[in-house]
Amino acid sequence: MTTTVPPDSVARSARAAPPGTLALAWRLASSRPRLMLVNFVVWALVHALPVFAGVLFKGIFDALAAGAAATTSPWTFLALALSVDAARIGILGAGVWVFSSYWAQLVLTMRRNLLAYLLTAPGVRRLPDSPSEAISRFRDDVDDIAQYIENWVDFWGLAIFGVVALTIMFRIDPLMTGLILVPLLLTLVLTNVLRPTIRRVRRALREATGRVTDFVGETFQAVQTVQGAGSEASMVRAFARLGDVRRRAAIRDALLAEVFKNVNDNMVHLATGVILLVGAGAMQRGTFTVGDFALFVTFLPRLTGTVSFLGAMLVQHKRTGVAFERLDGLLDGAGPEVVVADADLHLQGEVPEFTDPRPPRVPLAELRVESLSVRHADGVPAVHDASFALRRGGFTVVTGAVGSGKSTLVKAVIGLLPIDSGTVRWNGEVVADPASWFVPPRSAYTGQVPRLFSDTLRENVVQGRRDGDRALPTAVRLAVLEHDLAHLDRGLDTEVGTRGVKLSGGQVQRSAAARMFLRDADLLVFDDLSSALDVETERELWRRLFEERADATCLVVSHRRAALERADQVLLMDGGRIVARGTLHEVLLRSPQMAALWGDADGRHEVAAAAVVG
């Protein structure tokens, strides 16, 4: 990867501006063409059929006013009106069923695409915020987009009703129809004026909700820490402050929605008043019948509701734009097109056979890192021009003081952090995308703070692997876990609790190590694995690994003697640079800093080196 920026960043910078909200929504809606068409037709009928009801009500009242002179009985019109209503109820039931399926598939598609990208896309994939905030985006922002598409499903039927109803009303009385339209159009004008406010208020609410969700999630994960520090009261106050911010944001959002609702409701009353005032005079002149009045009154609430719907749809359009932006942020700028891409959900027919996603094994002969540089997220340099090589079966330890860049270097090599410049080669071939390359069976990684799931110890180690139970005893033995299992209530079937809270720190680290050993990877990367292990347990772990996996290549971040004594190569880091390399004996001889780390701070590193050789 001889580039100045990671490949995913290059792709993002080169791509064109993303499509607009409407184009993205259409792309998603049309991904299910049959369901989309069926929904449009069914809901067009549901919303357009009231036109016939209004015309039939006009016929009823005109027939009653005409009395015996009426050409058609009012009972005929009444029977037809009831038939239209019965048909509309049946179509409405079918509409609910087909739209439920459509909604579910749209939402599943978006969430599937989000999850698939976060798990499998090339390049470094990091959540921009906490997992709790990511869940908020998965839930709320996806629902906002689906709600917008639902608006378009309703739009066509309401548009047909509005055009036909206004045409009929205009032919009866153009002046009255024009007067009725004036207050209704004011609603659209008000909506357009308040668009920037709508967008800002919705964004503020989403961000405030995300902060509350984030705080709750972090608090649940740190209950013991909070209790140990006696910080319950301050945590409650902090939660109250976040809740107050969210409450104010929710009130502003709800207030804006209520303003629109009240304006629209008042437009109904205003338009009805216009009909009463203007219609009374027209009826006296004989140009406006009782049936015409019934038709106008029947159409008016639905017309007002249609205009209200259009105003709310404009509001939802802005909210959907915010939702796409937030989801694009979750994808680290990959583009909202990823969210709406078509995907087979396999909801019907046979479920396809499981395909092993692991890449083919490429046995490691040599891993070479050349001139690697890394920057922190804020742009501050973290690793400068690091170069080293690992050969098959080697044991390399990266050591140094706290903050020297050890973990950053290792994470960048295996693709957990973006590389600013430099090259990573596997058997001489440039690794273009370390994040996708350094996975089992090529590589396995255990971090400083291993993550366990709220499940049994067995599932945390196996993680659904089909042949996991067969290889499990070896992994447990390599991780020096067998004695711990004997003291757990249910052995491997013991529930470990949230993030392994029921286990000790050492047990958590060795459980993660067992999970890594189970992958049988060529390259094993340990980031300070031994920080919670006692000396004897750590020595035993390395001894067993050397005996049973002699061909495994290890890259280890550690300052502990048990690891350093095993190393055939030590990389000493300081200030983000590799300042010394070689065997432990060689580095101790050349570096007073290494001697200090080893425990000989007065500079008599020759003595320490002699002790190691001996």
> In this predicted model, what pLDDT tens digit does every residue of 101-136 receive, in sequence order?
999 999 999 999 998 888 877 776 677 776 767 888
| pLDDT winner (highest mean) among 1-10, 198-207, 214-223, 503-512 | 503-512
pLDDT at residue 3 greater than cutoff 70: no
Residue 13 confidence (pLDDT): 42
Task: Quote the percentage of the chain above a pLDDT of 70.
Answer: 86
Query: Of 340, 355, 370, at which residue does a domain stop?
Result: 340
What is the rounded distance in angstroms from the CA atom of residue 386 to the CA atom of residue 375?
13
Average pLDDT for 323-339: 87
In a domain, residue 364? The reply is no
User: What per-residue confidence (pLDDT) applies to 57?
Assistant: 81
Model pLDDT, residue 522: 92
pLDDT-based confidence at residue 224 (cuts at 50, 70, 90): low
Asked if residue 12 has pLDDT above 60, the reply is no
Q: Can you give the pLDDT at residue 184?
A: 66
Is 553 inside any structural domain? Answer: no
Residue 604 confidence (pLDDT): 39
**Structural domain boundaries, residue 57:** 15-340
Q: Is residue 25 part of a domain?
A: yes
| Better pLDDT: 379 or 373 | 373
pLDDT greater at residue 473 or residue 215: 473
Q: Which one, of 447, 478, 446, lies nearest residue 546 by Cα?
A: 478
d(CA 43, CA 92): 8
**What's the burial of 348, exposed, middle or buried (CB within 10 Å: 0-12/13-18/19+)?**
exposed
The mean pLDDT value for 512-516 works out to: 91
Of the listed ranges 175-184, 240-249, 603-612, the one predicted with least confidence: 603-612
Q: How much is the average pLDDT of 290-311? A: 81
Tokens of 493: 């079937």
| Confidence tier at 568 by pLDDT (50, 70, 90) | very high
Contacts of 405 (CB under 8 A, 6+ apart): 374, 382, 383, 573, 575, 576, 577
- How sure is the predictor about 188, in pLDDT bands with cuts at 50, 70 and 90? low
State the average pLDDT over residues 178-193: 72
Percent of the chain at pLDDT > 90 equals 34
- 395 strand-pairing partners: 554
Residue 394 above 50 pLDDT?
yes
Helix %, strand %, coil % for the chain, to 5? 65, 10, 25
By residue count, the chain amounts to 614
Contact 125, 118 (CB under 8 A): yes
Q: State the chain's mean pLDDT as an integer.
A: 83
Residues 410, 525 contacting (CB under 8 angstroms):
yes
pLDDT level of residue 606 (50, 70, 90 thresholds): very low
Question: Cα 597 vs. chain centroid, distance in angstroms?
Answer: 43
For the ranges 160-164, 173-177, 375-379, the maximum mean pLDDT occurs at 160-164
Question: Which pLDDT value is given to residue 70?
Answer: 62
Q: Residue 297 maps to which CATH number?
A: 1.20.1560.10
Q: How confident is the model at residue 62 (pLDDT cuts 50, 70, 90)?
A: confident
Q: Which residue type, as a one-letter code, is found at position 432? A: A
Confidence of residue 9 (pLDDT cuts 50, 70, 90): very low
pLDDT in tens, 254-278: 887 777 667 766 766 676 677 677 7
207-221, 392-406, 444-458: the lowest-pLDDT one: 207-221
Angle value at C-alpha 557, between 552 and 562, nearest 5 degrees? 75
Q: Sorting pLDDT into bands at 50, 70 and 90, what band is 400?
A: very high
Q: Which of 286-290, 313-317, 445-449 has the lowest mean pLDDT?
A: 286-290
Q: Does residue 344 have a pLDDT over 70?
A: yes
φ, ψ at 368 (rounded to 5°): -125, 130
For the ranges 142-151, 515-524, 605-614, which has the lowest average pLDDT? 605-614
- Residue 371: pLDDT band with limits 50, 70, 90: very high
Which of 298, 325, 340 corresponds to the end of one domain? 340
pLDDT in tens, 457-507: 888 888 877 666 778 899 999 999 988 888 888 888 888 876 666 788 888
- Say what the pLDDT of residue 602 is: 34
| Residue 16 pLDDT exceeds 60 | no
Reported as type and span, the H/E element at residue 556 is strand 553-557
pLDDT at 81 over 50: yes
pLDDT at residue 425 greater than cutoff 60: yes
pLDDT of the residue at 147: 93
Asked if pLDDT for residue 515 goes beyond 60, the answer is: yes
Asked if 606 contacts 589 with a C-beta cutoff of 8 angstroms, the reply is: yes
CA distances from 256 to 245, 259, 324, 410 (A): 17, 5, 21, 51
Q: Locate the DSSP E strands across 481-521.
A: none
**Does residue 308 belong to any structural domain of this protein?**
yes
Question: How far is Cα 516 from Cα 108, in angstroms, rounded to an integer?
Answer: 32
Report the pLDDT value the prediction gives residue 17, as an integer from 0 to 100.
Answer: 66
Using the Cα atoms of residue 579, residue 585, residue 586 and residue 590 in order, give the sign of their dihedral: positive
- Which range, 55-59, 194-198, 244-248, 371-375, has the best average confidence (pLDDT)? 371-375
**pTM of the predicted structure, to 2 decimals:** 0.72
Residue 65 has pLDDT above 70, yes or no: yes
The helix/strand count (H/E) of the chain reads as 24, 10
Q: Is 41 left (phi over 0), alpha (psi -120 to 50) or beta?
A: alpha
Query: For the chain, how many structural domains are there in total?
Result: 2
- What's the pLDDT band for 366 if we cut at 50, 70, 90? very high
The confidence score (pLDDT) of residue 376 equals 85
Q: Give the pLDDT score at 426.
A: 96
* Residue 343, phi-psi category: left (phi > 0), alpha (psi -120 to 50), beta (remainder): beta
More confident residue, 252 or 554: 554
What does the block give as tokens for 538? 């750590």
pLDDT at 608: 40
pLDDT for res 315: 78
* The pLDDT of residue 583 is above 90: yes
Indicate the residue among 311, 340, 369 that finishes a domain.
340
What integer is the mean pLDDT of 548-565?
90
Confirm whether 233 is domain-assigned: yes
Per DSSP bridges, beta strands 523-527 and 381-391 are unpaired
Ramachandran sector of residue 67 (left: φ over 0; alpha: ψ -120 to 50; beta: rest): left
State residue 436's pLDDT score: 87
Q: Rounded to whole angstroms, how far apart are CA atoms 542 and 568?
A: 13
